[in-house]
Amino acid sequence: MNIIFGAVITLSSAILLFISPDAVLASFISGGEKALSLSMKLVVVYAVWLGVFGLLEKTGLSSKFARLLKPFNKLLFGDVPPLANDYMALNISANILGMSGATTPMGIKSIQELEKHPGTEYAIAMFFVVNATSVQLIPSSVLALRTSMGSVSPADIILPTILATLVSSVIGILLVKMFIRKSNPLTEKEPFKKEK
Amino acid sequence: MSAYIIPVLFLIIFVFACFKKVKPYDAFTDGAKSAVPFAVSIFPYLAGIFVMTELFEASGISSAVADFLAPAFRILGIPKELTRLVLIKPFSGSGALALLSEIFETYGVDSYLARCACVIYGSSETVFYIAAVYFAGAKTKNLAKPIIISLVASFASCIFACFICHIM
């Protein structure tokens, strides 16, 4: 990340120095402004979803649900701590349903939870790739845009989109399986025990 | 159909909460409380990504790279009109959405190019944004491999998208 960031910033600034020096600071500021306005939106969206998740946790629904998805999670991510498993299950289902506001807070919580335990590098990498190549059933923002621009059949992109997103997820998962080793001697001997 | 998913889900959760004698108001506000620290913790990373994207666009590097790569993309079956979309998608979702509506206006909503652009937009995520946000404050620094894998997988799905839109 540091390499990419450094390279892009240096190169862009150097070019802008010759073509329009004023644009350098302007770009920095407008980038910051965009980040702020997105953050404001995110506060609201997160408040709603985290509130609902608060309820889910208190009622115990989330761990029930996670238990349902556990075999699938185990297959994909290997052994993970139970609390992380809860968050991951919620994140993956929110991804599939296309609830983009809900995926991010659960994703961050999953990573934070995974990081507390040694030997979860593989699970973290796999979790990131699954999120980055997300399987989404209904591309709602595209559908809305197509409808508003007067498309004759806005829905005819749904099936190709599902297929394409499946392709990216499957390739992503296979590449993780090929290139990132499940090297955790700790957990192989002793799977995570239920906390509390 | 999709309009019903969320309301039904919320209804189930709230009914279940009452059934379980959980105090819904307390539980909701307890959860919502963490929204602000959450957003604050990811803000610096968002700022980094957005500044990078802005400079990338403003300096003309992005269009230069797009022009440079267009012939190579052509061979893989990605039309040259969509090169910029494929390139901007990993960095910025809103940038990609803006390009998408531009493509709609220029080539028509139901053209091959527009449909193909939709599938490309819908099939991949903003990889760098997700990397920045998910790993905000995380100790894991070795992100190179997962990021490269995600980019390769997204790119493969773009090629697939251009192909499938020919037949569907």
- Domain of residue A173: give its range: 60-196
Q: Is A12 exposed, middle or buried (0-12, 13-18, 19+ CB in 10 A)?
A: buried
**A47/A65 same-domain check:** no
Q: Which residue of A has its CA nearest to B118?
A: A142
Structural domain tally of chain A? 2
Assess contact for A129 and B146: CB atoms under 8 A: yes
Instruction: Read off the tokens for A195.
Output: 């906390």
* ipTM given for this complex: 0.84
In this prediction, residue A136 carries a pLDDT of 73
> Considering all CA atoms of chain A, what is the largest pairwise distance in Å, rounded to the nearest integer?
62
In this prediction, residue A192 carries a pLDDT of 57
Render each residue's pLDDT in chain A as its tens digit; 196 residues: 778 888 888 988 888 888 888 888 888 999 889 889 888 888 888 888 888 888 888 888 888 888 888 888 888 888 888 888 889 998 988 887 777 778 888 898 899 888 888 888 889 999 999 998 877 777 777 888 888 888 888 888 888 888 998 999 999 999 999 888 776 544 444 455 554 4
Instruction: Read off the tokens for A171.
Output: 């390739």
In this prediction, residue B2 carries a pLDDT of 59
**A7/A71 same-domain check:** no
**A91/A163 same-domain check:** yes
CB–CB of B22 and A55 under 8 A?
yes
In this prediction, residue B113 carries a pLDDT of 92
**A18/A48 same-domain check:** yes
**A102/A179 same-domain check:** yes
**A114/A67 same-domain check:** yes
Instruction: Read off the tokens for B127.
Output: 């990889």
**A88/A172 same-domain check:** yes
Residue B1 has pLDDT above 90, yes or no: no
Residue B3 has pLDDT above 70, yes or no: no
Task: Compute the radius of gyration of chain B from its Cα atoms.
Answer: 20
Assess contact for A69 and A93: CB atoms under 8 A: yes
CB proximity under 8 Å: B 37-96 to A: 38-40, 42-43, 46-56, 58-61, 94
* Domain layout of chain B by residue ranges: 37-167
**A1/A37 same-domain check:** yes
Q: How many CB atoms lie within 10 A of CB A7?
A: 11
